[in-house]
Amino acid sequence: MATKAKDRIAELIKLVSHHDQRYHGDDAPEIPDADYDQLKRELLRLEEAHPELVQPDSPTQTVGADPSTLFEPVEHRIPMMSLDNAFSQNELKAWAERARRRLAASGSRTHYRDEQTTGQQPLLVANEADDEIDDETSDREKGESTSVSATESEQTAAELGTLVCELKFDGLAVSLRYEDGKLTQAATRGNGRVGEDITANMLTLDSLPHRLSAGAPKILEVRGEVYMPLAAFETLNAQQEAQGKPRYANPRNTAAGSLRQKDPKITSSRCLAMWCYSVGEIQGGPKLDTHSATLEYLRHLGLPVNPETITVNSLSMAWEFIQHCQDIRHDLPYEIDGAVLKIDRLDLQQKLGTTSRSPRWAIAYKLPPEEQTTTLLDIHVSIGSKGKATPFAVLEPVFVGGSTVAMATLHNEDQVRAKDVRPGDTVVVRKAGDVIPEVLGPVLEQRPSDLSKWTFPSVCPCTHAKPLIRQDGDAAHYCCFESCPERLRGWIKHFAARNALDIEHLGEQRIRLFIKLGLIANIADIFSLNPGGFELLKELKYSTWATRLKDGTEIFLDTSLVAALSHLDTKNQHELLVSIQRLKHRPLAELLFALNIDGLGEVTAKIVAQAFPHLDEIAETSTQELLQINGVQAKMAEAIKAFFSSKENQTSLAKLRSAGVRLNNMPTSAKSENLLEHYDTPPVLPTSPSPHGRKLTSNQEQALQRVIRFIEGKGVGEQKAALLFHLGLIADFSDLFTLDVTQLDQYRELSWKTQLANGREHTLHADEIAHLASFAELSLSNLSQAIEKAKAQPLARLLVGLNIRHLGDTACEVLADAYETLDLIMKASAEELAQVEGIGPVIAASVCDFFQSQANREIIEKLRAAELSFTQHPSNNTQAEAPSETPSQTLAGTTIVFTGTLQRYDRETAAAAIKARGGKSTNSVSSKTTALVVGEKPGSSKLNQAQKLRIQILNEAEFEYLLDTGQLPPKPQQLK
């Protein structure tokens, strides 16, 4: 075991050191931060378990990477240290508890509350660096980090005093040296002891003062993070693309590379900025007792200090700050990857000291990673509503950015070629908040040698396989076939979208199904949906579906069972197996009742199980002995004896025994109690006659009933059990424990066919049949009403729905306001259209091309026949209200956040009202927020943050006052 650990430690030291050099030294990381964190944490755990194997050059004992030889070396008078990381609330509590214990051991009673994270350097280094791994770090391996209760953690926090909570910036750590207020030297962190001289480059930063304000100390070393603002990063990448050069990967690496340029002019052009968060060496100046006072002093001197920094008095408040960081992460104009907690009192920092690489008085909390590696399984092409062909990556599912990602965009052919990603590659996937997941590029070091480059397909992936065309000067390919089903699906989806005709109850699944069934072939057909079409849906819902396996076997299922099949993906297959596993650990009475012995109810089963504590004893007992049990009648005793005498049942029970099913009254193991539970609502047991009238035999029906009884109320679900039985995957209840659920995949991928009374056949996939099963009278009625309501939408909405290339939502409004009716737009020439402000020749030509198409003109006439409004201001007020005048921009420059439920507004309507008046609505509270509108059941995180930042809090009435007047109420209501 020790040999294996030694070998793995050596391997990890080599790996982590390599990636440290690539990240800190070369500014060219090869793996995402999350993968690096996993490697380093594994190394730390092994070293904690085997302290005798810790090497002095281990990355757990060092900081950063050796400085580059391109720049002059700079020795740090006080080492620039790194921070320990925490990845959970329990790890934060454990950090605080370790700090409390160390302070208590030093005989110091303190007043500190909470644990905290940071990306900053120690103000003082009071202790010599420890040569060995601290006892405090080994606590993590011992499990002490997860044993701190909420009460204990708050008590610990009270003993630690105030905590400073800061954002953890994703940039490059640097040190600035001011002498008599003048910037004389700037250096990178390097390996913590020696960095690189980047003075000339740092002098190009506009946000950095070359000379401090009056009152600066004789010597002041300031530490902080250099970063690239997101706007500057996007501008730089736009310049790269315009020059035909590849995009930069991320702001952090770009900032680091920009700062290490030999030519300061290049650095100057990159618009870098810096946040200062601590000091190193200091001579002179005022006496500072706390870290928070130090930050205020730096701010007073004119240095950039981040405004999101706060002080808190408890761990719970620090945790709220971390949640706040997650909320505002994507509203900030720069990137962060976590939060930093620091003990505020400098005397406590000095007593706690440091380890060989990090201060004990601070910790960095890492937010969920937004980049991860996974396998690129394949590259497919999707066709959009305007025919645009977009390549996308099919990925091995990976958790990134707070959700599981299985697909990611690749944009276009040029991007695929530039990134050189190939099916089979290990790739880096990025997902930031609500942003569409994106493949950043391959991990070339892990690429198999036999992978071929991917080539863009020449034809559309739909059944018609029409050519994909890329015009000169265009980055995208297009399918120009007007009847392309994929293009049609996208167009109808766009037509029904909220910003277009706003047809509720017509989502993508229904659109796909309606197209497949021939109910709609273009956008105009939506308004021709009639009761006859809905009758078809009802008939299909109650049909029986057939499919044929490769060996010729025919399978017949009704709609509900095919629906159940479609839902049994990999995750649900796992949950099914877990539910079956739980069946092994039932009390004997439940098992006895589940065997479905004739006449044996739940109460009697409990009585029998109490008399005979093992199933084998019940099987071997005589009828006379059974009759001695109070409550067991002669007929019941005979039924029990007959059941256990049956050779078929004996075979089934033998299978149960070999599968490890519990047959006695022993207590359920703790392990079995911790298994995942997944309960279905038991439906009425379906029967499955085939189109040819074939039904289950009497024996099969009995066997199925036994299966149903056996799993009753135990999470398997009657529908799933019936499905397994009809597919032939089980023939008896005992077969559940040898079930191979992966066999379900072959059925899920098949097409299923049905024949209606009129002789017409329909073929659908399992997921389409599942959606068919969800139709109800009410949903169809709601759809009909939504379609009727859509007829009265104003012209601008109709133009959006027509999905004319280059014509965006704003241009639709401009065109509709200028011409008032669709007929006038159709009659206008390209030259006339181009004269409209905001349209221009490209949009004008596209609009003319659209209306000159005969197919499109036919659709327009169908829409006219369906009585859609072709005017910007429909006159029929019973169907739709004429749009009101645009409100004046009274809220320009304001940012409003909502929490809780409002009585007279939904969230979208309220946000739209703000936007219409020139304001902005965001999802999180920050220092830029103007007001927080609070409804019923507000979220505590937003409310607490608003109160901390002293942001005005409004109720619904005050919100309406704001809308009406454009001013905040003079006497804001503060919630208690």
Q: Which of 455-459, 551-555, 955-959 has the highest mean pLDDT?
A: 455-459
448-474: average pLDDT:
89
Question: pLDDT-derived band of residue 24, with 50, 70 and 90 as boundaries?
Answer: low
Q: Which of 173-182, 299-308, 407-416 has the lowest mean pLDDT?
A: 407-416
Looking at per-residue pLDDT, the higher value among 789 and 879 belongs to 789
Token pair of 290, please?
């706390």
* Model pTM score: 0.52
What is the per-residue pLDDT for 93?
A: 93
Task: Please tell me which residue, 308 or 925, carries the higher pLDDT value.
Answer: 308
516 closest CA partner among 759, 775, 777, 762: 762
The pLDDT, as a whole number, for residue 504 is: 84
Identified catalytic residue from 93, 168, 493, 641 = 168
Q: What is the mean pLDDT of residues 382-401?
A: 87
Q: What is the pLDDT of residue 108?
A: 54
**Structure confidence by residue, pLDDT tens digits, 927-972:** 889 999 998 877 777 887 888 888 999 988 888 888 888 888 875 4
Element (H, E) at 913: helix 907-916
CA atoms within 13 A of residue 357's CA, in its CB half-sphere: 21
Strand partners for 379: 393
User: At residue 312, does pLDDT exceed 90?
Assistant: yes
Grouping H, G, I as helix, E, B as strand and the rest as coil, residue 473 is coil
Q: What is the pLDDT of residue 560?
A: 81
Q: Tell me if 79 sits within 8 A of 125, measured CB to CB.
A: yes
Show Cβ contacts of residue 730 under 8 Å, excluding neighbours closer than 6 positions. 707, 721, 724, 736, 739
Give the mean pLDDT of 479-500. 86
Give residue-wise pLDDT tens across range 521-539.
Answer: 888 988 888 766 777 887 8
pLDDT of res. 96:
93
Higher pLDDT: 432 or 815? It is 815
How far apart, in whole angstroms, are the C-alpha atoms of residue 416 and residue 438?
A: 11
| Beta bridge partner(s), residue 389 | 383, 477
Residue linked to tokens 């200091």: 282
Q: What percent of the chain has pLDDT over 70?
A: 86
Q: What is the DSSP string of 24-76?
A: IISS--SS-HHHHHHHHHHHHHHHHH-GGG--TT-TTTS-S-PPPTTS-EEE-
Q: What is the pLDDT of residue 912?
A: 82
The SS3 call for residue 174 is strand
The reported pLDDT for the residue numbered 181 is 94
pLDDT score, position 130: 34
pLDDT of residue 134: 44
Q: Tell whether the model's pLDDT for residue 131 goes beyond 80.
A: no
Residue 390 amino acid letter = T
pLDDT band per the 50, 70, 90 thresholds, residue 733: confident
Query: Does the pLDDT of residue 798 top 80, yes or no?
Result: yes
Query: Is 168 a residue of the active site?
Result: yes
Which one has a higher pLDDT value, 20 or 103? 103
Angle, alpha carbons 655-603-675 (nearest 5°): 50
* CA distances in angstroms from 494 to 801, 821, 883, listed in the order given: 6, 21, 22
**pLDDT value at 688 more than 70:** no
User: Residue 705 and residue 698: Cα distance in Å, rounded?
Assistant: 11
All structural domains of the chain, each given as residue ranges with its CATH number in brackets, are 2-61 (1.10.287.610), 371-479 (2.40.50.140), 485-538+776-787 (1.10.150.20), 544-580+687-755 (no CATH), 588-667 (1.10.150.20), 791-865 (1.10.150.20), 895-965 (3.40.50.10190)
DSSP assignment of 772-799: HHT--HHHHHHHHHHHHHHTT--HHHHH
Residues 53-68 pLDDT 10s: 877 778 777 665 555 5
Beta pairing class for 336-343 and 362-366: antiparallel
Q: Say if residue 745's pLDDT is above 90.
A: no
Tens digit of each residue's pLDDT (9 = 90 or more) over 905-934: 777 778 888 888 888 888 778 888 999 999
More confident residue, 272 or 936: 272
pLDDT of 509 higher than 50: yes
